[in-house]
Amino acid sequence: MQNKIKRVAVFCSGGDAPGMNAAIRAVVRSATYRGLHIFGILRGYEGMIDGNINRLETKDVGNIIHRGGTVLKTARSKAFMTKSGRKKAYESLVAHDIDACIAIGGNGTLTGAQIFSKEYPIPMIGIPGTIDNDLFGSDYTIGFDTAINTAVEAVDKIRDTADSHNRLFFVEVMGRHSGFIALSTGIGSGSASVLIPEKETRISDLIKMLKKGSKRNKLFSLVIVAEGHHEGGAAAIAKKVNKDFDYYDTKVAIIGHLQRGGSPTAADRVLASRLGYGAIEALLNGEENVMVGVVNNKICYTPFKAAVNTEKSLDEDLMRMAEILAL
């Protein structure tokens, strides 16, 4: 495999995440150091289908490690979900003599890479780039640390106005299927409760908890809600609570896509750099169709099938601790 890999393409797909540029930089410079020719695919799988593939040099990734978003742009490709779309993508890679690809993205990105790798003989290496932190095979994903820091900073500001006005704030963070962002934001901001998709919390139980706080003359309260909670988003839950509990002036704040933007934290820059370097090393060591991750501070490789199909569970002890500290 080492002798076959000469020309490598890197791309981002799906939702953007702070730190993707740091990963691109690490891939390009590691590949160049190893004597490989490196190419960038603009707009992910969509760009692969269109043949939007350009050579990258070391100078092209200078001064990007601190930037949010992705210089290669990203997209969600419906065409790549079809056999005809993947065939066009393969033909584009062959036309540019690409020997292997490095995909930076989340579950959908790696699922696409897994399907493509079964159909065509081009090795794929995945790098977990998603703020959701929901990919099995890595303790953390690129963008997660930045996202929770952004969310906590926003909640800190909300806390100031909540305290001034005797208010109950429901703050919605991202997480359609996973509560990693909500749980860490809740702990980091000292919230009264965290509502996540993985745990069923009844409105009646939430009201009981809030009433306990009011009996202690608690002047304000913060509830962090993952957007995918079974009772609905922050607005829906606030409306349900307000019907039976009006002790506080209830408000809703949705942090939204602020969590995707901004300069990546040092932790995300270091993680992205390690994973980008690890992706090139994986290819040169004969690995293919795996995701590069960091587990217990060590680089490891997880097959795509396990990375996308194995549920990554929240730490139950962290959930219990969040409840105890909110008393």
> Strands 290-295, 298-303: parallel, antiparallel or unpaired by DSSP?
antiparallel
How many Cα neighbours within 13 Å face the side chain of 91? Answer: 9
Three-point CA angle 96, 75, 28, nearest 5°: 50
* Catalytic (active site) residue 97: no
The total number of residues shown for the chain amounts to 327
Catalytic residue chosen out of the listed positions 132, 134, 145, 268: 132
Euclidean distance between CA atoms 85 and 45, whole angstroms: 9
Q: What are phi and psi of 290, to 5 degrees?
A: -135, 160
Hey, how many other C-beta atoms are within 10 angstroms of the C-beta on 157? 10
Using alpha carbons, select from 23, 18, 184 the residue that is nearest to residue 10: 23
Q: Which helix (H) or strand (E) element contains residue 100?
A: strand 100-105
Using alpha carbons, select from 232, 255, 260 the residue that is nearest to residue 106: 260
The catalytic site residues sit at 132
